[in-house]
Chain A
Amino acid sequence: MKKINNLELASLIFIQMVTMDLGININIIKNSTGVNGWIVIILSFIIGIIPLSLYMYISNFSTTHPLNEKINILFKKAGKIINFLISIIALVIGIFLLYNSNNFITSQLLYRTSQIMIGIILLTLAIYHNSKGINSITKVSFLLLIINFTLFLLSFFSLSSNINISNLLPVLKENTDNIFLSALKLSSINIFPIIITLSIPKSLVSSENTYNKDIIKTYILAFIVSFLVIFTTYSVLGIELVKIFEYPEYMVLKKVTLWGFLQRIENIVANQWIIGNYIYLTLIIYYLSTNFKSKNNTQKNIFNIIIGILIITITNVIFKNNTIYYNYVQTIFPYITMVLIIFYVIISIKIYIDQKIKH
């Protein structure tokens, strides 16, 4: 198999860590932590260092195998249960991602289009993309990341003149009780799911020596981007408007003006999130398909189509409206992804014990 460039892999991890910036991150923290949201994001990335370290530790074990095979090697029969549980969590993330992008598009851009229609287009593309293999996924991810990053920089520099630091005051005076829990929730939805990327074995990466270094750099960059998204949204809009809007991150983009005359470009700039959601969905389908042992590509494609149908059906059955969705986002979703930390820990401990026994 052709090797994957380190940057391409890094782009996947980056997209995973920043995609939830739209519609999910702020909705989790805005009511419980008030103006302290920017502190929450800093804290969440500090917490995230733990799963990141464990991620790198796990990646060093049996570098030729993807995550599911590593788990099977480590836990034998019990590995199947762990793989099943991680797959369920990945599926849940996929469901939330799909609804998030569908809801964003239908509520802000295409008011009368049915969500199923958008879901079918997004998933069809993701399934097709999967049929082209992981090299194609990572290459597209890297190219789209460049577009995303350019859009992000354009929007940030344009908005920097609207930043009002006093909108972030007072610091740590109100709503301080939930800061740690909110940071943990953010960490669990932004950082814990990067375990899915372990479905790409380390040996597939072109430069194994710089693997860890590149991942750390990606982590720092993703943190800076996520921080700036929250910082800019809060400081430009103020907490009252942040609380009232469904997508404050998008509303703030309405103020983007380039070189004084390019206005009303929020829909172009907001593409960064739709692109992110699409790549993330593709990666989730790829991860789920690695658990399915197929004899040929047709079988794999059929399996991917089934996953797609499953995601879109569950999304439409569970989330009848966005009130139900936001209720789940705030109360259930972070706790589901939080379970991933248990797998990080048990896999790491098992690797450690096995290696001790060997030596």
Chain B
Amino acid sequence: MNKKIILILFFIFLLTGCYDNKELNEIAILTATEIEKVDDQYVVKSQVVNPQAPDKTTITQSPFIIYTGTGKTIQEAYRNTTTESPKFLYSNHMQILIINEKIAKENISEVIDFYIRNPAIRTDFYVLIGKNENILDIITPIESLSSSSIKETLENNKKYLGSSATVTFDEFVNMYLNKNLEIALPSIEIINHDEEGEKLENTEESQVKSKYKLGNIAIFKDNKLQGYLTKDESITYNILKNNIQNTILTYECEDKKYITIEIIKSSASTKITNKEITIDINMSGNINESHCNIDIKEKDNIKKIEKLFENKLEESIQKDINNIRNNYNSDIFNFLDTIYKYDYNTYQNIKNNWYEETYKKIKVNINTNISIITKGNILEVIDEKN
């Protein structure tokens, strides 16, 4: 009997729940982090949900609070926020990480090291390059947390335009570690940044003064930021990387008259044949807008539009690839990785002088196939009055 009592007492101490538990009222939910570097010190800004946030009728407090910490390392900077925050910053719900372009140009390995090493942080948050500072400070309309707003804007852009990209932290690390890949990340900037943007009044007018805007894709070489693609180059990048869910293509059908197709399905495959890169692109789409008098009831006319788009797309992709090769000499399309995976012998011969000798010269063949499925609500041409 005594033994059983001793055993029960022993277990009381062991089974008291998680040893290192944290109650909800002891933590502050961190939703986003912005990292900058000032005078060789990391400045970490943590966006934390304000549990005292106002309801819709009484606007008294900001929906989020920014805690700033400074330190020689990111961890030190994070911990230094405890001088401001009454609660422990819980990072498991982090949605976005903004790395200032200054760090991206110098050394991103320290940022990666901290986040990949830390088991308390998940690796599925989005990473962006911040073109200016204090991006998270902006009070945004519609979504009260700017981090959620940025996350949803990224996802929306991916769904409907494809000029940016959604890159999770583990994808980013993979690009960083893989010797055959180059990093490409979405970027973000603030337009009309002033102190008003950090106040609740920022959202009181219909024309929001200070707001963030997704930039085009940031391009790296050897893990250092080189610059930013144009909008068209960004879309091309996403088409080739199969990141596009939905986008629009607009080309001239007659002099200064345009036709727009909404791409609803896109797939691209890159192959290596006879030491040349071949990219096959298959797309399906709908005619969304047409300024030209084309009779779309005619099968041949649809074929003509498809052909026009195929040729124009081919041309623009070719141009964008060449621009990126010439301007940045960075293989963000993973050509070297394709060669590594599908033609290992060629890879062995070219890997050492890839950028010096091969990348700019290698022939890239583009094959496009576009199918127009529907033409919108109408079957007739919207003709001008005679």
Contact = CB atoms under 8 A, between A and B. Distances in A.
Interface of A: 107-108, 110-114, 117, 120-121, 124, 166, 169-170, 173, 237-238, 240-241, 243-244, 251, 254-255, 264
Nearest to A107: B119
Interface string B1-39: 000000000000011001110000000000000000000
Contact of A108 (B20, B119, B341): B119
Interface stretch (B58-66, B73-81, B169-177, B321-329): B169-177
B20 A251 contact: no
Interface in B198-240: none
Contact of B123 (A117, A173, A251): A251
B280 interface: no
Contacts of A166: 341
Contacts of B382: none
Contacts of B119: 107-108, 111
B122 interface: yes
B116 interface: yes
Nearest to A118: B19
A117 B19 contact: yes
Contact of B20 (A107, A112, A243): A112
A106 to B, nearest CB: 10
Nearest to B22: A112
A158 to B, nearest CB: 14
B170 A241 contact: yes
A110 B340 CA distance: 40
Nearest to B342: A169
9 residue pairs, one from A and one from B, having the closest CB atoms: A112-B20, A169-B341, A113-B19, A240-B177, A173-B344, A170-B344, A240-B178, A238-B174, A240-B174
Contacts of A108: 119
Contact of B116 (A117, A169, A173, A244): A244
Given A117-B14, A244-B116, A244-B173, 14 more contacts: A110-B19, A110-B20, A113-B20, A124-B14, A169-B341, A237-B170, A238-B174, A240-B173, A240-B177, A241-B170, A243-B177, A244-B177, A254-B124, A255-B124
A108 B118 CA distance: 9
Given A121-B14, A169-B341, A112 B174 contact: no
Contacts of A254: 122-124
B373 interface: no
11 contacts: A107-B119, A114-B19, A117-B19, A120-B14, A121-B14, A121-B15, A124-B14, A166-B341, A169-B342, A170-B344, A254-B123
A112 B19 CA distance: 7
Interface string B312-346: 00000000000000000000000000001110100
Contacts of B124: 254-255
B120 interface: yes
Contacts of B15: 121
A169 B272 CA distance: 14
Which has the most chain A C-beta neighbours within 10 Å: B119, B173, B177, B344?
B119
A235 to B, nearest CB: 13
A241 B122 contact: no
B174 A241 contact: yes
Contacts of B20: 110-113
Nearest to B120: A111
B252 to A, nearest CB: 37
Contacts of A251: 123, 170
Contacts of B14: 117, 120-121, 124
Contacts of B122: 254, 264
Contacts of A112: 19-20
Interface in B111-133: 116, 119-120, 122-124
A132 B122 CA distance: 41
Interface in B128-168: none
Contacts of A124: 14
A237 B173 CA distance: 11
A170 B341 contact: yes
A321 to B, nearest CB: 15
A2 to B, nearest CB: 26
A37 B344 CA distance: 18
Residue among B124, B178, B341 with the most chain A CB within 10 A?
B341
B134 to A, nearest CB: 30
B342 A238 contact: no
